[in-house]
Structure 1
Amino acid sequence: MNPTQDTLDLVKGALATPDDRIGKTISASTGLLAFDLQMPAKNLYPFVTPLRNSIPRVGGGTGTATNWRQVTALLGSGFDAMGWVPEGQRSGQMSYTTASKSASFVTIGEEDAATYEAISAGRHFEDIQARMTFRLLQKMMLKEEMAILGGNASLQLGTPAPPSLSASGSGATLPAATYSVIAVALTLEGYQNSALAAGVATTKTITSADGKTYVLSGGSSNKSANATQAVTLGQTLFASVTALQGAVAYAWYIGAAGAETLQAITTINSASFAAPLAGGQQAVSAVTADNSANPNYAYDGLLTAALKSGSNAYVKTMATGAAGTGTPLTSSGRGSVGEIDDMFQQMWNLYQVSPTVLYVNVQELKNITAKVLSNASGPLLRYEISGDGANPYDLAAAGAVSFYFNPFTLNGGLKIPVRIHPRVPPGTIIGFAENLPIQYQS
């Protein structure tokens, strides 16, 4: 007897005619499986920084601030627009308008960390340190983009005026009661930092990686005094507040007097309420001061610099209009938008400059397109199609304005790109002159 040979023969026989029960002993449910993990981790988040990408990087200066002198006007002798001089005489002497300017250096930052254990455990999946650095850089760029656009060191919103209220209409489901309404204005930073679920951003204490703490203001004004309005069942409550220059949005606190809670955040200076109020919202008692700026830490971004008093920027605040609706853009009737045309004309008349790019929200891109492509502008729209007859009705649905022509410039006008920016709120259009025209070059 040969045990080894006999064992092999039995194994061969079993494999040749396997028992059905043996064949099903191991299945996928046992968990003895490989794990198909795609490498590396997928970064499924938006990363859009057009301003940061287009502004040239300049090396650091010295000291705590950069300083410059500017000449803003050349004032001729006599009549400024006349240069006539009698024979044999000299002209009077011209003068200048000058100013000294400075901007303090500030620090922006973001941090991340990885443990040695995480680095070791991540081998063969992704390079934890490299990917961490890449994602940290992206987040830093996103924060820098927001700082360039709406950083606020010096524009204090203060306290809004008490809201103006009314009630009218029928069919609304807002319960009958006397409602108290309080408004809080928001800067661009405040609008981005606030939400109905989380509440209006006031202040936040940050614990840094070194264990120290500092406090940042969230971008909200102080709360207004309250106003009250009696509402009967079926009526809609309408509220508006005097617009504050520097605010891009407004938070609305509504309820019984002394118990107002956050019910809406709007990008116009009015709101309407037709449904029962939501419960569990932030109480107005959370807002105790003007937290609109960070004078010790921030610099003024493009929008803030333009909105500040005395900036000489063109700022157009639309009329309040119907509460909850606002005042929309208007068509010029010649294939353009009246308010944008007015901006271009005013910038030329005062300073002979033009924006080189328009940054808008998705809503405003739709509104601009709707005003440009109205029935009145139909005869001004040119459509070109191939004459070979292959696709006589090959049309693409929809479309948008991608450039806006400014005729008020030297040398026949300028085509200005219209670009969506994810941080520009609805109701705001930013015209940015990336470079001064040739007549301004030093």
Structure 2
Amino acid sequence: MPLPKAQTLFGYSPEAPELSKAEVSRRFDELMATIDSLPTRHVGASEVAQAFGEGRGIDFGARPGNAFEALTKALDGPDIAKAMSSDALASVTSALEALKAEQPDLMKDITPSSPIGTGLVAYDLEAPAKMLTPRPTPLRNRLPRKKGIGLSHQFKVISGFTGTATGGVANIHPGIGDTTQTNFAPSGASNALYYARGPKISYAGYDKTVAYSQFSVSDAVTWSAQYAGQGYQDVRQLSRTSLLYSSMLLEERMLLMGRGTSGRGFLGAVAAPTGVALTARTAAGSEVALSGFTTNVYVKVTSDAGDFGQSVLSTAANVGVTAGQVVDVTCVLPAGATGVRVYVSTGASDPGDASRWYAGRVGYNTFTLQGALPTSGVAASTITADTTAYTNGYDGILPICTGPDSGYVNRLNAVLSNTNPGSEWQTAFAALYDAVKADPDRTLLNGSDRKQLSDALKTNSSSNYRMTITQDQLTGVTLGDVVNTIINEVTGKGVAVEVHPWMPQGNAPIISDTLPLPDSEVSDVWSVFNVQDLLGVDWPVTQFAFESSSYWMGALLCYAPAWNGAITGIKKA
């Protein structure tokens, strides 16, 4: 801060309101001469140490906190008072008091918030940005990836012949006698050619065509973002890496729960739920009574199809509600639905879909409305078309395992058994074996559903299971257990229990990786065929941005859907 001018310091005093320039100059020269004549002393390190360490020697006194205090302390010194006239001293003191009000900086310290609000400090910014982005892709990592050509992949299936009891082919008795005659005329021929031979066997089969789809996602980095990030992070590299992982994660979800349209030979859209019913009852246990309602509650639901969409809305259902109650929403879910999404409104009459708000989703057919009713978010009026199936898409593992060609589907709409843990899977294993002699390899679960299965094992009261809690030599105890294998009680094979990170709660596909048929010509039940596997494209610069895209073209194939199954509608415990 600049020093005050001489006119400001000496140009006014109560005794002489108006002074000549000569008098001002004289007073200033008098102050400077006095300051120059003051005795000086150079203090060495030993004297400083002696003064502070032993409490004697030089008395430094309190340091001035700011410019105003420094000037005030100097004027209070005996040497200044002796050397200056009373008029000059009074003039300087008066001027400092006036400057104190006019220039607050005289009173300020340099602190973390002064003289700049954000402080004269360095930023301890750690580079680069931390990537807290989970990106597991277990299906993509496991499934074979094979080369495709053209626009679709085709194969032919012999689904049964006499004696297999599959493919709809009936069994026949092979017994013959000397007089047995069998017609060996070609199929469709009008003449009969009877021979003394055993009866002819029959076959069943079909053609299968799986259309390929194209997939791509893109990203862009503006020049300003790239260049401004220099020294902190390579933003363009971050964009490319994120684009790669995003493509892999989206393909993982397609492999798990994608649905193609029926017009391209896939399963097609999932229908809306039917039989929607509401039941108001007193809140029990840890439930929170409804609030925010007015007379009635109105509900519409959709069939959930996982991450990619939902069906059209169902018809509306309503019920009257009173204080202290919750409302159970039940419905009949169609085949292929991974659960239900609920939209709710309230009023003396139905206010319509624009005021009907998304309330949540579950993986089974019952949803309990409790707590404060939603008043914002996703409105039912935005659900104008089905989004469960996509033209540029294919059927994933979960839709195939719950579809019409699956070997077994059971919608529980209940919690897993506590009295006989794993019995739901044993029923499925038996049904699959009876149908096609299937011997599954693994089952995929949502994390909470696997926990429920493990808890059922730990809490059931039968003596069929034994667990040991181990203790080390000190005080540590290993507590807890988890189901990692279910023994197929039909075949004796261990079926791996795995958590899939993106599995919708309430669903558990049962998967065969291989077939128990050595000459089936099927090395892998599930395979990914790609005309072009995942690649990255950096587009030519046509604007002030670096733009990139990913691209791949292919489809998922299941050669033997009947060797797979699913348990759905697992209610959250």
Both proteins in one fold, TM over 0.5: yes
Task: Give 1:312 deviation, angstroms.
Answer: 2.9
Corresponding residue SS for 1:52:
helix
Q: CA deviation at 1:46?
A: 0.4
- Match among 243, 249, 261 for residue 142 of structure 1: 249
Change (3 A) 1:128 1:239: closer
> Structure 1 vs Structure 2: percent identity of aligned residues?
24
Q: Find the residue that maps to 2:161 and give its secondary structure.
A: strand
Could you tell me which amino acid in structure 1 is paired with residue 158 of structure 2?
V
Native 8 Å contact 1:246 1:307 kept in 2: yes
Match status 1:369 vs 2:454: yes
Task: Choose which of 205, 208, 215 in structure 2 pairs with 1:98.
Answer: 205
Q: How far apart in 2 are the matches of 1:65 and 1:50?
A: 25
TM-score (norm 1): 0.76
Secondary structure of the residue that 1:137 maps to in structure 2?
helix
What amino acid is the match of 2:271?
Answer: G
Which deviations, in whole Å up to 9, do the C-alpha atoms of 1:8-51 show, x marking residues without a partner?
xxxxx8997999789x9988778666655544432111011100
Count of residues in correspondence between the two structures: 384
| Per-residue deviation, 1:72 | 0.7
Which letter does structure 1 place at the counterpart of 2:494?
Answer: K
Match 1:80 to one of 167, 171, 181: 171
| CA distance in structure 2 between the aligned counterparts of 1:96 and 1:420, rounded to whole angstroms | 39
Structure 2: distance between partners of 1:76 and 1:353 = 16
Deviations 1:379-421 (A, max 9, x none): 52153969xxx73986311221122222323xxx222221211
Matched, 1:188 2:276: no
Listed as ranges, the matches of 1:117-266 within 5 Å are 118-154=225-261, 155-169=268-282, 172-174=289-291, 175=293, 177-190=295-308, 219-254=309-344, 255-256=346-347, 257-259=350-352, 260-266=356-362
Aligned counterpart, 1:347: 432
Match of 2:478 in 1: 396
- Compute the displacement of 1:316 (Å): 0.7
Amino acid at match of 2:405: S
Alignment-mate amino acid for residue 62 of structure 1: I
> Are residues 75 and 110 of structure 1, via their aligned partners in 2, closer, same or farther at CA, if it must alter by over 3 Å?
same
Q: Deviations over 1:238-280 (max 9, x none)?
A: 2211122111222222223133332332222122234342222
Counterpart-to-counterpart distance in 1, 2:366 and 2:229: 52
* 1:184 Cα deviation from its structure 2 partner: 1.6
State the distance in 2 between where 1:384 and 1:137 align: 44
C-alpha RMSD of the superposition: 3.5
Distance 1:14 1:315, change over 3 A: farther
1:114 matched residue in structure 2: 221
- The answer to whether the 8 A contact 2:327-2:368 is kept is yes
The runs of 5 or more residues in structure 2 that have no matched partner are 1-41, 49-59, 68-108, 180-195, 262-267, 522-573
Is residue 490 of structure 2 the alignment partner of residue 408 of structure 1? Answer: yes
Q: Does 1:268 align with 2:268?
A: no
3-state SS of paired residue (1:431)? strand
Q: Is the 8 A contact 1:361 1:428 kept in 2?
A: yes
C-alpha separation in 1, matches of 2:519 and 2:412:
31
Structure-1 separation of matches of 2:151 and 2:225 = 39
- Name which one, 1 or 2, has greater alpha-carbon Rg: 2
Counterpart selection for 1:278 from 374, 379, 402: 374
* TM-score relative to the length of structure 2: 0.60
How far did residue 136 of structure 1 move?
A: 1.3
Which residue pairs with 1:329 in the alignment?
416
CA distance in 2: counterparts of 1:222 and 1:79, whole angstroms = 41
Contact 1:152-1:304 at 8 Å conserved across structures: yes
Q: What SS does structure 2 have at the residue aligned with 1:107?
A: strand
Q: Is the 8 A contact 1:404 1:416 kept in 2?
A: yes
Q: Is the 8 A contact 2:422 2:453 kept in 1?
A: yes
* SS of match in other structure, 2:256: helix
Deviation track 1:179-226 (CA, whole Å, cap 9, x = no partner) reads 222122211134xxxxxxxxxxxxxxxxxxxxxxxxxxxx22111111
Task: Report the CA distance between 1:139 and its aligned residue.
Answer: 0.8
Matches of 1:114 and 1:234, distance apart in 2: 53
Q: 1:132 to 1:272 in 2, by over 3 A?
A: closer
Q: Distance in 1 between matches of 2:510 and 2:231?
A: 48
Instruction: Tell me the CA shift for residue 67 of structure 1.
Output: 0.9
**Counterpart Cα distance in 2 of 1:186 and 1:385:** 43
Over 3 Å counting, the alpha-carbon distance change for 1:404 and 1:163 in structure 2 is same
Conservation of the 8 A alpha-carbon contact between 1:167 and 1:236:
yes
> Aligned pair 1:46/2:134, yes or no?
yes
Q: Does the CA contact (< 8 Å) of 1:248 and 1:268 recur in 2?
A: yes
Structure 2 vs 1, CA of residues 231 and 79 (structure 1 numbering), >3 Å: closer, same or farther?
A: closer
Match of 1:113, SS?
strand
Q: In the alignment, does 2:154 pair up with 1:67? A: yes
CA drift of 1:114 comes to: 3.0
Structure 1 residue 427 corresponds to structure 2 residue 509: no
Deviation at 1:68, TM superposition (A): 0.8
Asked if the contact 2:260–2:393 (Cα under 8 Å) also holds between the matched residues in 1, the reply is yes
Q: Following the alignment from structure 1 to structure 2, what is the Cα–Cα distance between the partners of residues 15 and 357?
A: 83
Q: Note if contact 1:69-1:101 (Cα within 8 Å) is conserved in structure 2.
A: yes
- CA distance in 2 between counterparts of 1:162 and 1:266 reads 17
1:298 aligns with 2:393: yes
1:359 corresponding residue in structure 2? 444
Change (3 A) 1:289 1:26: closer
Counterpart code for 1:280: S
**Secondary structure of the equivalent of 1:305?**
helix
Secondary structure of 1:353 counterpart: coil
Q: Which moved more, 1:140-149 or 1:425-434?
A: 425-434
Distance 2:270 2:342 in 1: 16
Matching residue of 1:313: 407
Segments of structure 1 that go 5 or more residues without pairing to the other structure are: 1-12, 191-218, 320-326
Give the secondary structure class of the aligned counterpart of 1:100. strand
Compute the displacement of 1:169 (Å): 2.5
| Whole-angstrom CA distance in 2 between matches of 1:64 and 1:79 | 36
CA apart distance, 1:125: 4.2
CA distance in 2, matches of 1:420, 1:68: 32
Residue identity opposite 2:388 in structure 1 = S
Q: Secondary structure at the match of 2:214?
A: coil
| Contact map agreement 1:76 1:93 (CA 8 A) in 2 | no
How far apart, in 2, do the equivalents of 1:117 and 1:233 lie? 57
1:71 counterpart letter in structure 2: I
Q: Tell me the residue number matched to 2:72.
A: none
In the alignment, is the contact (CA less than 8 A) between 2:362 and 2:506 conserved in 1?
no
SS, match of residue 373 in structure 1 = helix
Distance in structure 2 (CA, Å) of the matches to 1:286 and 1:133: 33
